[in-house]
Chains A and B, each alone.
Chain A
Amino acid sequence: MISVLAGRPAVRVAVIAAYVLLVEWARALVSTAPYVATAALILGGVALVVSGAGWPLERLGIGKSRLGFRILGGCALAVVLLMPAAARANAAPILPAFLALPAVVVSIGEEIAFRGALYAALEDLGGAPVAIIGSTALWTAAHALSHPPEFLFAVAAAGLLLALWRWACKDLVGPIIGHVLADLAL
């Protein structure tokens, strides 16, 4: 099975994309049920992390080289992601404390799934442009059930920004840090 996936990039993309979309949509639907929101978010985040299994860390964009640059890049990404909300701080939602851990797990899971595994699989299939556009499109589709339609353009733009960072800096640590900080702040 693994050898078939390794030899056929298109099949690998389809399998990872289907898995990630299934996890994201299931998480969005299950988390609306009473008493299970926190568990659904954490399990969904962990399930997304699993999508990175089998990939070398460097293919996912994870590494210790240039760590200072990666961490600072994540902080800079968080600034960009949060700036529109900070400019209207009075209308910014407040994340309850009990959602902090789920937010961290989901953020890490989403980055490993979309800008990590999916990006790498799409890059193998058609190069960087396919990886950037494809991961952004799937990221937007994955949020269709958890977000009101009017937010999807902003979701797509955030996905594009994070995918461009992944491409330009060959780095996933920055997007992970930026995404986690942005989720914790809101």
Chain B
Amino acid sequence: MNRFVLLAGGAAVYMLAAWMVAPGFYDGFTPQQPYNWVCPPVHISGNLPPSSGHLVIKVINGVSDANSAFTDDGQVVIGFLPGAFDVTGKTSITVDIKPVSPCPKPSGLTFAVNTYLISADAPLVKKANLVMRYSDIVPAPSKVYRATSADGPWASIVALNEAQPFTIDTTTDQFGYFAAGYPSNADSPGGSSSQVLPIVIAALIILVLIAGIPLAMMRRRQAPDEGEADGAEP
């Protein structure tokens, strides 16, 4: 009996410890750093504003250098190959990444990340590699969208295989407004919704109760027959 009292105590300690940090149980698969939202989902608390990024790329012997621009919070990274820019008349290229506020809400699309304006003072002549990080508490995006204005129209760009979990990658040959999301009428490929969790818990509780009662009754009936044969077990 003491064993089960200790076990119950362990469960109580876990509940208390897990309640102190949201979401509670966490096994390290999701990002450690929370996503910084321009327009946080309603259930998010303690949101920090997203960062901007700025990069000056050197032009060496008439060729722009290889480099990557990124926001200070690492939510957007855009990488450029050597000679990625048309450097006519330039000694350096300036690239800026800025989160867009207010948040564009195009009809028919659901954005799972902030919208970012990525601009440079020279056009691209080679594709740049764009990586956008997304939050682990919203459904994952399936596409990257680009527009020349925050009001749209938004065109989807083919997303590449993600290099790391919770990032979506693509290439672009133009600057502009970028966001990642999915068509509003489509299911996100990101897995089950967090709304399913309470249902899963309820189903498990019902399963334990429904299957546990006959199991306990069966064990109670078997106990007198078995005597001490099962004594090592609780």
Using a CB–CB cutoff of 8 Å, the interface residues on chain A facing chain B are 28, 32, 34-35, 37, 41, 65-66, 68-69, 72, 75-76, 78-100, 102-103, 106-107, 143, 146-148, 150-151, 153-158, 160-161, 164-165, 167-170, 181-183, 185-186
If A79-B201, A80-B11, A94-B192 touch, whether A154 touches B21 (CB-CB below 8 Å) is: yes
**B207 A75 Cβ-Cβ under 8 A:** yes
Closest approach, in angstroms, between the C-beta of B9 and any C-beta of chain A?
8
Residues of A within 8 A of B11 (CB): 80, 161
Query: Which stretch from B12-20, B59-67, B119-127, B146-154 is at the chain A interface?
Result: B12-20
Q: Are B26 and A186 in touch, CB under 8 angstroms?
A: yes
- Which of B4, B29, B164 lies at the interface centre, i.e. has the most chain A CB atoms within 10 A of its CB? B29
**Would you call B48 an interface residue if the criterion is a C-beta within 8 Å of the partner chain's C-beta atoms?**
no
Q: Residue of B at shortest CB range from A91? A: B22
Q: Which of A76, A84, A164 contacts B24 (CB 8 A)?
A: A84
Cβ of B181 < 8 Å from any Cβ of A?
A: no
Residues of B near any A CB (own CB < 8 A): 3-4, 6-7, 10-11, 13-30, 32, 41-45, 136-140, 161, 163-166, 189-195, 197-198, 200-201, 204-205, 207-208, 211-212, 215, 219, 232-234
Chain A residues, CB < 8 A from B234: 168-170
Q: Which of B10, B21, B25, B212 has the most CB of A within 10 A?
A: B25
- In the complex, are the beta carbons of B26 and A147 less than 8 A apart? yes
Candidates A82, A107, A160; contact of B13 at CB < 8 Å = A160
- Complex Cα spacing A92 to B11, Å: 20
Contact between A93 and B215, CB atoms less than 8 A apart: no
Inside 8 A of A86's CB, which chain B residues have their CB?
197-198, 200-201
Contact of B43 among A28, A37, A90, A93 (CB under 8 A): A90
Cα separation A169 to B7 with both chains bound (whole Å): 10
Q: Closest 4 A-B residue pairs measured CB to CB?
A: A84-B24, A90-B43, A146-B28, A157-B17
Q: Say yes or no: A185-B197 contact (C-beta < 8 A), given A96-B190, A97-B190.
A: yes
Query: Shortest CB–CB separation between residue B4 and chain A, in angstroms?
Result: 6
A150 to B212, CA, bound (A): 36
Q: Are A68 and B30 in contact (CB under 8 A)?
A: no
Q: What's the nearest-Cβ distance from chain A to residue B172, in Å?
A: 19
* A81 partner, pick from B6, B25, B42, beta carbons under 8 A: B25
Q: Report the minimum CB–CB distance from A90 to chain B (whole Å).
A: 3
